[in-house]
Chain A
């Protein structure tokens, strides 16, 4: 079960589109001009809310769906019209899709048998891969006798034993409980790194996406709105949607003024801020909003300076390691997170507090992606 990085191939989807005829809405685009480039050995995640077209995009890459437009390229070869069984993929389904009439061994061996491999080689390969996913000894079990987590490992084993060129996952963990989900995502990531298989992973869980991926492509309404690393998306979301979808966000009404030397002036919360970040210089559609992450705001005693931002605690939730506050400031309700510094750290409701944040953590976002940015 070794595959060097030199085997890995790049995968790209070039302006993939797919229409479906909807009973009520007529022709609708499930995916529209979806473009992604996955480097050899890279782990890329398609992330988005339910119905945004993630599955459709992934199924076109897999070959289960024929695109209405666009191309799929595997390692330089155009595979758009190639059936799934000739693409050399491994696909892991949300519902596992294990063959209920076959034992664990036969499920895993299936792809090797289809390839006409010899019995001995199949036996070794299957027991190797079962060991790899921690299921040695389960060979003669049937899927119906296994837990969801075990079934998912079988599905994973079955997909990787054939040494696919590309590994595809469609929400593989969403049927598992929260703890197992975290455990399995680490295993999947470790396995992918070890085998160095180019991977496209679909999920609607932003935390899972951030934990597991090299890069994330955020989808909305059938299109990809931003692709980047977790840090990129979190700190430099291209649109208001991305800002809200990745992590928690305070989006504050703002008015933008021009200003000199690379900075721009923004009026928000009754104050004027000079933003340092270059992203802030570009404008998309709709009203601009000032993005402030809850952990970027710190709360302090009011000292009475003139330019001090003062608010009042509206509510708080004590979550152990951290405390979440809602603070009202200049008519805006802001979420603020503070790590627990000790038993005396709690601020009471209605307490007056001063809000601080660094100029370079606040950025402006618009409803649509700014022109000229990609």
Chain B
């Protein structure tokens, strides 16, 4: 610490207080749960022990689950990145009509803002034993939908939009005149693509692979429904260990095996591809090339591929909608509203709980994100970088680890939060507030420092400056952060499934229950309602953002891809 920094903080009590409070919160809701999780696995009777981990490592079934998780993550990473790239390339370089691009955008957005099972449910409706394609169309009896292929396909379809959203601004940012230049030098289009466009995209592709790998690694919902017994993966194994066998320590040890690959991804992103790389999707991102980057044949191939994938996603959602409106999909397809009646009667409490929790978590998380982002971007204090990195931990770790950590940390004294709404809210705020932190830091980097110094020179304290100058100017980041908080609060499950209780539960957990009770119609109806609510909120926030249209305003949906 430089001499004087301490004196400064003393002269600015509000600043010092804010930093102190944030540290306490981070310690309590990020560091403490992880520490408790580690302690549960590695400490027995006050001694360090490896028996917890050894038990997992010697269990052949669990080791298989570990390798399965890595395999699935790799495949989803590669396939999803490939599709994301094709979509991004088509959107920026194939002169698609803006309407078509908008339709594609809305369609691929669906999986990102839906409860995590929706794709899997639709997949079962289509390819399951009674599936529209497998049973009705192909007449296959007792089709085995469960396994790696289904899981991988559903995950790739769910997560490739992340790659698309991350890659599109990147490709758009490549000055197409560079390609035009190469073309004018006599290179063929394919050669230009191979030697110019693709190499420039490599960091983006690597980044997108890591994002998808991490997303798949952490995905708990899709494998729970689609993987079946033949293809165990770690997140589901950990969940079953805890909820099925009541073996908290075993589950914790299993979840820790996710930690190593997750940390590797985190480090790789931060220090390798992620250096200052930040993705925002703005309206002007999808600029069109001023010349034909691709031959007509290639163009048609790409466009057809995109349209086909888009239609596939839309098809799954249509099936979902249809299933929510018939008595029993595949058996009795008479129209009914009974599933929605269930949602709005028995399900009303769950819906209410979810909305209340989202309504509390959203502003808290939004404010937390902006405040912490502002402080680490602008203020000098001890442990600033540590605070920034620590604040990302809950977001970077698979939800399973975070959820189990919360379960262990807050079930017993000294801090008992289990059974309440607070534990769920805290889980959301400190996990998904991270998006707001990153957006805020990115916006602060674009915001000229002299504005805040001007305020300071006019006599304003740090807190006044923040309130009256900084906050109004980074409002877009704040609203985008709010949007992400809300969407996640409505749709997340991997962490929160461990902290719901009889008195406070969530729609996503309810959907899972319905699935296991085979009340597929109700599950579908819940999913449709959640998607509808989320879309309305995204639309509203989009309106606000457009009114605030300031430089650097990023679309909510773009942030889901970070």
Contacts and interface: CB of A to CB of B under 8 A. Distances in A.
Given A83-B11, A97-B448, A111-B458, A68 B469 contact: no
A155 B460 CA distance: 16
A110 B457 CA distance: 11
Interface in B458-483: 458-461, 464, 468-469, 472-473
A340 B317 CA distance: 86
Interface in B1-43: 2-5, 7-8, 11-12
B455 interface: yes
A214 B306 CA distance: 71
A124 interface: no
A85 B450 contact: no
Contact of A66 (B4, B451, B453, B460): B4
Contacts of A86: 11, 459
Contacts of A114: 455, 458-460, 464
Interface of A: 62-64, 66, 68, 80-86, 88-91, 93, 95, 97-101, 110-111, 114-115, 155, 158-159, 162, 168
A115 B459 contact: yes
Interface residues of B, number: 25
B12 A83 contact: yes
A85 B460 contact: yes
Instruction: Give the secondary structure class of B's interface.
Output: helix
Interface in B244-287: none
Contacts of A168: 457
B187 interface: no
B23 to A, nearest CB: 21
Interface of B: 2-5, 7-8, 11-12, 448, 450-451, 453-461, 464, 468-469, 472-473
Contacts of A84: 453, 456-457
B473 A159 contact: no
B458 A110 contact: yes
A99 B456 contact: no
B464 A91 contact: no
A90 B457 contact: yes
Contacts of B468: 110
Contact of A97 (B5, B12, B454): B454
Nearest to A107: B454
21 contacts: A62-B453, A62-B457, A64-B453, A80-B4, A83-B12, A84-B453, A84-B456, A85-B458, A86-B459, A89-B457, A91-B453, A91-B454, A95-B448, A97-B454, A99-B451, A101-B473, A110-B455, A111-B459, A114-B460, A155-B454, A162-B458
Q: Which 10 A-B pairs have the closest CB atoms?
A: A111-B458, A91-B457, A97-B450, A66-B4, A97-B454, A81-B7, A114-B460, A84-B456, A93-B450, A85-B456
Contacts of B456: 63-64, 83-85
B3 to A, nearest CB: 8
A90 B453 CA distance: 11
Contacts of B450: 93, 95, 97
A100 B469 CA distance: 9
A81 B454 CA distance: 18
B458 A93 contact: no
Given A99-B454, A101-B473, A162-B459, A66 B448 contact: no
Contacts of A115: 459
Contact of B472 (A68, A83, A101): A101
Contacts of B464: 114
Contacts of B3: 66
Contact of B2 (A64, A68, A88): A68
Contacts of B2: 66, 68
B11 A82 contact: yes
Contacts of B460: 85, 110-111, 114
Given A83-B12, A86-B459, A99-B454, 14 more contacts: A63-B456, A80-B4, A85-B457, A85-B458, A86-B11, A90-B457, A90-B458, A93-B450, A95-B450, A97-B451, A114-B455, A114-B464, A159-B457, A159-B458
The residue among A68, A80, A114 with the most chain B CB atoms within 10 A of its own CB is A114
Nearest to A59: B453
A325 to B, nearest CB: 45
Instruction: Give the secondary structure class of A's interface.
Output: loop
Contacts of B459: 85-86, 88, 111, 114-115, 162
A162 B2 CA distance: 31
Contacts of A80: 4
A159 B455 CA distance: 10
Nearest to A66: B4
A100 B457 contact: no
Contacts of B451: 97, 99-100
B431 to A, nearest CB: 31
A99 B469 contact: yes
A64 B457 CA distance: 9
A313 to B, nearest CB: 49
Contacts of A155: 454
The residue among A64, A85, A90 with the most chain B CB atoms within 10 A of its own CB is A85
A90 B451 CA distance: 13
B457 A81 contact: no
A96 to B, nearest CB: 8
A162 B458 CA distance: 7
Nearest to B457: A91
Nearest to B11: A83
B327 to A, nearest CB: 56
Contacts of B11: 81-83, 86
Contact of A81 (B8, B455, B472, B473): B8
B330 to A, nearest CB: 57
A90 B458 CA distance: 7
A95 B450 CA distance: 8
B4 A81 contact: yes
Contacts of A158: 454, 458
A16 B3 CA distance: 14
Contacts of B461: 85
A168 B458 CA distance: 12
Nearest to B460: A114
The residue among A68, A89, A97 with the most chain B CB atoms within 10 A of its own CB is A97
A86 B8 CA distance: 11
A74 to B, nearest CB: 14
The residue among B4, B450, B454, B469 with the most chain A CB atoms within 10 A of its own CB is B454
B453 A93 contact: yes
B189 to A, nearest CB: 39
A305 to B, nearest CB: 62
A161 to B, nearest CB: 9
A93 B448 CA distance: 11
Contacts of B4: 66, 80-81
A88 B458 CA distance: 8
B369 to A, nearest CB: 20
Contacts of A63: 456
Nearest to B475: A101
A68 B457 CA distance: 21
Nearest to A68: B2
Nearest to B15: A83
A83 B8 contact: yes
Given A93-B450, A114-B464, A66 B458 contact: no
A62 B449 CA distance: 15
Contacts of A110: 455, 458, 460, 468
A214 B469 CA distance: 35
A13 to B, nearest CB: 16
A82 B461 CA distance: 12
Contacts of B5: 66
A100 B468 CA distance: 12
A231 B459 CA distance: 37
